[in-house]
Amino acid sequence: MRLRGQKGPFKFLRHETAQIFPGVIPRAVCEEARNTIDQVLDRGDNNRIWRDATGSDSRILGFEKDIPALLPYFYVESCISAIDSYLGKSTQSWLLMANRLIPRSGNKGSGGGLHRDSPFSHQVKCIWYLSDVHAANGPFEYVPGSHRNLYSQRNKYPIGTYRFENVSEERKAITAEAGSLLVCDTRAIHGGRPIAEGSRYAVTLYTFDDATGADRLFRSSGLKPD
């Protein structure tokens, strides 16, 4: 069994499920990134776009390829180093996923409802809000502490289950201004609140401890890696 490092800038995740860091990306850069997302999605001419069944959640995998001039503002290498220090692993592949949420009837929010990325191991996601996020436009929300002590929660949330329709515990929503960075252990029960108004733009860092992880995410999304 591989032990977590529990070290570095993200060691707060030993006790906290998530934390928000405001003002990481300048608002002007956020606006430029939002414009790029709109342009890529509205053209729809590449094989890196995924959309949910309602048309609410549109995603661009491998978004780093679309923003080479903006990439330094995301400090991806520093984030990966912090993730590796906390998890005690070495990232071998990664990608950025950009998504735009808009209201559509029956939408379940970003991620398609409450879920864990895995009940068996800890994962860390870095999520940059590119637009101001409030209670009605799809904030990230999670059950505090649900990334720990899964055995004691097994009657309510069976350990082998990834998605949850009925969650009785109070959920915490992360609202913040554009340019904020959200760091979360996504072993926790989490998801985007269904969007009721406006729009929400974000970029998420996915890391993998094997060289084929990024390609695997493409394929699991029904897309072909470049």
CA distances from 171 to 14, 70, 208 (A): 19, 33, 27
pLDDT of residue 127: 96
pLDDT at 2: 40
Residue type at position 181: L
Nearest to 84 by CA among 26, 114, 124: 124
DSSP at 171:
P
Q: Which residues pair with 126 in a beta bridge?
A: 183, 205
AA letter at 203: V
The tokens of 86 are what?
Answer: 């906390």
Q: What's the token pair of residue 170?
A: 């109070």
Would residue 6 be called left, alpha or beta, if left means φ above 0 and alpha means ψ between -120 and 50 degrees? Answer: left
Q: Which residues of 159-168 are buried (b: 16+ CB within 10 A; e: fewer)?
A: eeeeebeebe
The whole-number mean pLDDT for each consecutive block of 10 residues of the chain, a chain of 226 residues, reads 65 90 98 98 92 95 98 98 94 97 91 69 90 96 71 59 65 93 86 92 96 94 87
Q: Among 194, 219, 193, which residue's Cα sits nearest to residue 208?
A: 219
Three-state SS for 17?
coil
- Residue 7 CB burial class (10 angstroms; 0-12, 13-18, ≥19): middle
pLDDT, position 109: 80
Helix locations, the chain, DSSP H: 27-43, 76-87, 213-220
> What's the predicted TM-score (pTM) here?
0.89
pLDDT value of residue 111: 76
DSSP strand pairing (200-208 vs 93-101): antiparallel
For residue 101, list its beta bridge partners.
57, 200
Residue 51 structure tokens: 């959309």
Q: What angle do CA 20, 104, 25 make, to 5 degrees?
A: 25
Gap between the Cα atoms of 78 and 91, Å rounded? 12
